[in-house]
Structure 1
């Protein structure tokens, strides 16, 4: 399918989704005009755009610098999400005038379901090495769907338990080409499943403490075919399967001062292990070969969020987080790939309540990821290594409409 037609179809799907969500919120307006002070339902429709630019350069191979070698990564992602929450214990709008604080003080038992769609998105990977007159480019068209359910049940007025189930489906089609007349295409599919349990406790009326433990598993499968435009014998096909298991722990505390200022601090730990099997086959009757590699990732992130509740209608937030992440990839062939990431994020948002039932929210986030990367062969003689540096900048903006009735 031509790229222009793919872009056109993507925007048509996106606009249809936006119109559907706006109509969904519009159908609720008769309920929101009823003027009830007890809130049982909440529907949120959100549109998010994220743009990422990454570079990998400063390559050094066995102590020899290659200043003209450069990786570039570019992607623009649209995401549409809608969620519905039912409060078994209604939010009392008459007790707490500011809409953003009603959930905090009501301690409601609630059920929340949500879906999210990422329409087809194009991502570009480009590698150039001018000294060797080499260039390669990979284009991917990927889409994703997500669905989840959260249930928060208060055993006592100040203590509740939280349950989470979430599933994400990713589909990706890849094509690539190089200046050496190699061409390729591939198909990738991944399913991610998350299961969580947590606790929420109000130590005092103004202080909420939370802990959430989530474990997850991923299933990944891909097939990639590579061929030469000048030599038909140079054709290979590789199939890859990967299984990932991991967990994450999030702990947070929130304090509301005088119904004017809210401060939330949190810590997030995540870890996973992955095992990948690769089967490569060649043209004609060559039986091919199998190989494998293992991944391990560990991250520690801490953050702070400050909210200002202005009057009865405005909520302004600013926050940030920082952390570190290590990622190691160990191949059967004595190759080890290591990344050491530094993570920094700044975010801000403003929510304005039109009335007790309708509000709009705008937000922006800027994230920086820096890493030192190394590829080594620790058991080979003579030993060899390749080092490089990576910088990734991501800008994310979102707009949301929230209806309560």
Structure 2
């Protein structure tokens, strides 16, 4: 996620420093992978020039204490260029089991200056441009520490084993980030030259939910699935201004994508699955039929499905895609069962009447002539046999 304009930090460079291991378990018919290891980033400050960090070595002038030196994302996909990021590309959701941040300085013990580090469970935590209020805010969090610029130390970030799953990519930080970790300048460096502080993160994550990118389409008539699990019925703001129901896969995000959806067909949910919605009286109703929304895709370029009340409405939408055939939004429905159900295509059957071509007189005469044809006897192996007449085809 992009930092706020008020902070304007450059993301620190991330490099994989140790190999990661893997242990497997089972959940929902899939094998989640547990990744553990450590990655590191470096934050350096120059006297009179402020911090310098990141691959571009961008300089930010620090005139007073309270300047934000770094904001580090704990989302595995944010650690670009590391093995963890590559592994995370194969999955759709994650959950932290343990996270520890280590800070190691390169300056002498006689150097003056201080940094404040903190973590907050709020992924949308913001700070002002600079000033003492930032230091007070940073150190007011329970998970925070104040380090002299020459000190080495660690910060244990709280995790909860029963924590909900987080998505590895999306548009809402609250669905992707495990809080916010930030480094703030508590006292400017008073020496000459530059000071580097190595920030290492020792982690143990669980990655789950295969996220294999589709490279082609499905065959006509095949059942389809959403790209991501955890479906439910609700609305999205850019789809008829949130007035109509559509299938989604997370709160506050975009509509669920169906890469193989065929706009020339409507779909019926698998008999073993269940999707429900709230009607105008806020009573739960079952969704059975779904249509492919015309002229609308999500940010992945996938088509989306919208529920309709009956098969007749689905057929009518195919002939004339009018929003009047879609269901009005009342409130978000419950999760689907299972979390990634199948949708079977429904196409109207066509009755074809096949008739044999009428037999002409010329064809009948030729057939009669061939039927009367008798082959002459020919010697076969020293004996004579009579071949039968040619079949009348």
TM class by shorter chain equals: under 0.3
TM-score (norm 1): 0.24
TM-score (norm 2): 0.24
* Structure with greater Cα Rg: 2
Larger RCO of the pair (alpha carbons < 8 Å, separation 6+) = 2
